[in-house]
Amino acid sequence: MSFASSSAVSRRRLLALGGVSLALAYFPRAASASTARDPRLVVIVLRGALDGLSAVAPIGDPDYAALRGSLALSPVGDKAALPLDGFFALHPAMPVFARLYKEGRGSVVHAVATSYRERSHFDGQDVLESGHPGPGYTESGWLNRAVFALQSAEPTRHRGLGVGAAAPLLMRGPAASLGWAPQFLPPAGEDLAQRVLDLYTHSDPALAAALRAGLDADKIATSGGLTGDMAKARGGMDQPNGMRQAAMGAARLLATPDGPRVAALAFDGWDTHANENGLLATRLSGLDGALEEFEKGLGEAWKETAIVAITEFGRTARVNGTGGSDHGTASVAFLAGGAVRGARVVADWPGLKSSQLYQGRDLAATQDLRAVAKGLLADQFGLSAQALAEKIFPDSAAVAPSRGLISG
Amino acid sequence: MAIGPDPRGALVALDRFGLGAKPGDLAAAAADPRGFLLEEMRRPNVGRLESASLVPSNVALQALFADQQEKRMERERNMASEAARVSMAWPGAATAAPGPAPPRGADGKQKPPEASIEQKLFRAEAMARFEKRARAQAGFVERLVAFWSNHFAVSVAKGQFVRVAAGPFEREAIRPHALGRFADMLAAVESHPAMLFYLDNQRSIGPASAAGRFAGKGLNENLAREILELHTLGVGGGYSQTDVNALARIVTGWSFAEAESEIGEPGGFVFKANWHEPGAPVLLGRAYPQKGRDQGAAALADIARHPATATHIATKLARHFVDDTAPKPIVDALTKTFRETDGDLSAVADTLIQSDLAWSEPFSKIRTPDEFLVATARATGVLPNDPGPYLNRLNAMGMPLWQPPGPNGYPDSVDAWASPEAMKLRLDVAWQIAQSLKDIGHPLSLLDTAAGLAASRETREAVSRAESRPQALAILLMSPEFQRR
């Protein structure tokens, strides 16, 4: 049997490529480690539409409590919301973010939405991730195109990471990127992996190179192993364990000197049509845990990192008949990381009176999420307004980047 | 004509064109590998999939509509009682919000939630499809079905509607035509509720139609754009945005009947005449003066036989079955047959397997996750009673069933399926499968089943030196002989 890949790559050369750095040998090594800044950007997509009014509650708004009924957060009691700035309070499931906020390393953008104004998750996520003004574009994501733009200026330094068995649309596109997925299955042991690698080395070098790179990336991402509860319970991407694992692995890869600098993750399960109070607490504690893992795992790189968590749209302002909320419009974006200018909620608050709600039912959008993303890309990586308005977020010249979200 | 047994030909028949060997298949195919494939193609209704566990799309959708209606009513009841209960007193409201109590059994224990109607229907479709693929003679026709199903991709990520309709869509719009005429498949696909919903055509209203003038709503070009870009002419196939807009106008009114529809049977196709844009749009230089649904039928028939469509389809077939580069002699031969036979897909498939190049090229492609799982079931003879593990493994390897990343379907390149993370995940899946299989006999005889004499000395040694039976099986499943096609 013959295989197309039985090329002239000698076994010796393959062995010489061995070792942990091969995961990253897919990318050219960074030219210099002494550059002044080495920023990181992590984008977490919260799939299903996060309820911004419960994640970061406008408890100072006189209409809030009555409007939200059983979904309203309370400033007192055993599940009291965590105060942020007097007007807004944070969901009690997010103590880590509350601390980051106080330390000036966390901020919130409120009443923010993409340009999409309908109510399909599918199309909403495509708009959120593609960076196009409307649905129908699934070839590439804005984060990948941003990496692509950076690579054309400085090919050796900027690489993307897509987390998940299939990379989020955000990270698909023209720029080659590293992939890594947290473990859902019991992993094949090292001995088996080595035997398969040996076999490939002899008979299929292309598969050998790919498998070795995949194993090496996984080794970095899971180095130190999983501890405590995480080692026992492996969660999906809608469970706190799964979110933590994804963040832990991504953090380790981002912290590697010649590793990726930009990462895309996606957490599921935010579509809280029923029993929202319990579900949302679980999901938000997962997001909070993920932020903690990033802070721990990034080490020194944390100082230059910005993480942003975004969602396709918000939820209805009023509670529905099943203790949940339905598809809405504006929501929140969370920003965290050592590079973030924190301790503030960035909002042009639209109000919650019926006449102020979008179509009489949703929190109205007063900021464009593309402005937030463009601001982060401009401040972290110095991407030009023109590149941002044409290539990265097509047809968005009218949406000015929100500057100043990054400190410095 | 084969002279004496042809072991390599048997491998090509079963791996490149089929879904992998079951016990005895290699020997059976070696006598006449091409004949082995032709014999499968000529079996009556070989592509069809019918089973007592499956229902047509309109029945499935009616069940979904009824379920949604019931949930709506329950919600309204709850809304009314919640309004009566919830005190607006601040700040006590947040803690006083018990949702509806989960159902409890007679013993007071919480019952596991029953699978939703869309889950039940989806799982039945998945199981039937998996069994059909695992038991097919060579699996060539099933590979063609999967090719066309991916060419006309729909995604269950769109929502419950597609989750319920995706399986019936493949059985109703793809399978009957996989060895029929391309034009018939195209007509069936673009009028199927699953595709109409997936690409939003039920929301597209002719601006000058009766409904458009009344409601002030307009066109949705999604379906029209994908018909031209993905389903027929292809990118660079010589159409413009004006053509997209013209086709969108032409297919206004192509929709499906909702639960309360006044026309048509709920869950079935309807043509909504009062949504249809009046006029005779010009598409690709030709005016379509027909009225009503006939206008769209005429337009689809014309673009089905457009030369760009023939080249587009031929290129995709060559890339899928032979090599990522889509070897030109094969593309040319397929294009010629497509055009000469007016898109007879049986003749096109025949041309593909008559191509000498398709039998001599090295095995450069890698099995997709789905093909890998099906080939494993065929080689081991182990089929699950439940689709759960199959669906979970597809998810784990990044190929969730009927859920490609976009309307362009799952990728069809070695880079996509043999990427570093994909290979690592595949290894974990191989290990999980190997641990789950009992009584599969000697691993080396399994290697004979799957690869026969073509198994390399290295693979044979690696399998026989494994420290345990599961490890041997995992190595076999990961071997180039089992992964490449």
Question: How much is the ipTM here?
Answer: 0.90
Of B86, B158, B425, the CB nearest to A69: B86
pLDDT band at B216 (very low <50, low <70, confident <90, very high): confident
A22 touches chain B (CB under 8 A): no
Q: Which of A116-125, B42-51, B60-69 has the lowest mean pLDDT?
A: A116-125
Closest-CA residue of B relative to A139 is: B406
**Gap between the Cα atoms of B477 and B246, Å rounded:** 50
**Minimal Cα–Cα distance from A323 to chain B, Å?**
6
- Which amino acid, residue B46? V
- From B158, B428, B475, residue closest to A122, measured CB to CB: B158
Residues of B in contact with A126 (CB under 8 A): 406
Is pLDDT at B111 greater than 80 in this prediction? no
- Tokens 């807009």, residue? B245
Query: Which of A193-207, B353-367, B440-454 has the lowest average pLDDT?
Result: B440-454
Residues B285-340 have pLDDT tens digits of 999 999 999 999 999 999 999 999 999 999 999 999 999 999 999 999 999 999 99
- The β-bridge partners of B235 are none
Q: Of B86, B397, B421, which to mutate for an interface test with A (greatest number of A Cβ within 10 Å)?
A: B421
Give the single-character DSSP code of B115: P
Furthest-apart CA atoms within chain A: distance in Å:
75
Structure tokens at A356: 């102020």
List of residues 6+ apart from B312 with CB closer than 8 A: B232, B233, B234, B237
pLDDT attached to residue A188: 86
State how far the Cα of B154 lies from the Cα of A384, in Å rounded to an integer: 37
d(CA A160, CA A141): 12
At residue B382, the 3 state secondary structure works out as: coil
Q: Do B363 and A120 touch (CB under 8 A)?
A: no
What integer pLDDT is reported at residue B113 of this predicted model?
Answer: 67
Across the range B257-262, mean pLDDT stands at: 91
With a cut of 90, say whether residue B118 has pLDDT above it.
yes
User: What is the phi/psi pair of residue A57, to 5°?
Assistant: -90, 130
- Measured CA to CA in angstroms, residue B367 lies from A188, B17, B423, B473, B479 at distances of 20, 11, 11, 17, 12
Question: Which has more confidence, A9 or B165?
Answer: B165
Start-to-end CA distance of chain A, whole Å, equals 60
Spatial neighbors of B447 by CB under 8 A, at least 6 apart, are B455, B459, B460, B463, B476, B479, B481
Report pTM. 0.83
Q: Closest approach of chain B CAs to the CA of A69, in angstroms? A: 6
Give the closest of A1, A77, A215 to B363, CB-based.
Answer: A1
Q: Which of A181, A165, A173 is nearest to A144 (CA)?
A: A173
Residue B417 has pLDDT above 90, yes or no: yes
Counted across chains A and B, CB pairs separated by less than 8 A come out at: 225
Q: Which residues of chain A have pLDDT under 70?
A: 1-36, 156, 224-235
Give me the pLDDT at residue B77, please.
85
State the pLDDT at residue B4. Answer: 77
Chain centroid to CA A181: how far? 14
DSSP per-residue string spanning B78-108: HHHHHHHH----TTGGGG----PPPPB-TTS
Token pair in block for residue B299: 């337009």
Distance of CA A191 to the CA centre of its chain: 34
3-state SS assignment for residue A43: strand
Give the angle B423-B424-B428 at the CA atoms, nearest 5°: 115
Q: Is A23 at the interface with chain B, CB within 8 A?
A: yes
CA dist B292 to B17, B183, B215, B303, Å?
Answer: 41, 19, 20, 18
- Tell me the pLDDT tens digit for each residue of B120-140: 999 999 999 999 999 999 999
Predicted local confidence at residue A125, as pLDDT: 93
pLDDT at residue A352, as a whole number: 97
pLDDT over 60 (residue B104):
no
Is there a contact between A65 and B362 if contact means CB atoms under 8 Å apart? no
Query: Which DSSP state fits A178?
Result: E
Among A179-193, A331-345, B185-199, B460-474, the least confident range: A179-193
**Could you tell me if A339 and A333 are in contact, meaning their C-beta atoms sit under 8 angstroms apart?**
no
The pLDDT value recorded for residue A13 is 30
**Close Cβ partners of A211 (under 8 Å, ≥ 6 residues apart):** A193, A196, A197, A200, B420, B423, B424, B427
Nearest beta carbon to residue A166 from set B405, B429, B451: B405
Distances (CA, A) of A156 to A212, A258, A259: 21, 9, 11
In the structure encoding, which two tokens stand for residue B34, read together? 């091409």
Which tokens hold the place of A294? 């990033």
> B-chain residues within 8 Å CB-CB of A203?
456, 458-459, 480
What's the CA gap between B346 and B39, in Å, rounded?
12
* Owner of token pair 């299939």: A166
Of B424, B425, B435, B458, which to mutate for an interface test with A (greatest number of A Cβ within 10 Å)?
B424
How confident is the model at residue B110, as a pLDDT?
A: 55
pLDDT at A159: 87
Does any CB of chain B come closer than 8 Å to the CB of residue A268? no
Least confident of A208-212, B201-205, B283-287, B440-444: B440-444
- Which of B91, B422, B430 is facing A74, going by the closest CB pair? B91
Question: Which chain B residues have a beta carbon less than 8 Å from that of A65?
Answer: 88, 90-91, 93
Structure-block tokens of residue A112: 């923010």
Q: A178, B420: Cβ pair inside 8 Å? A: yes
- Average pLDDT rounded to a whole number, residues B64-84: 84
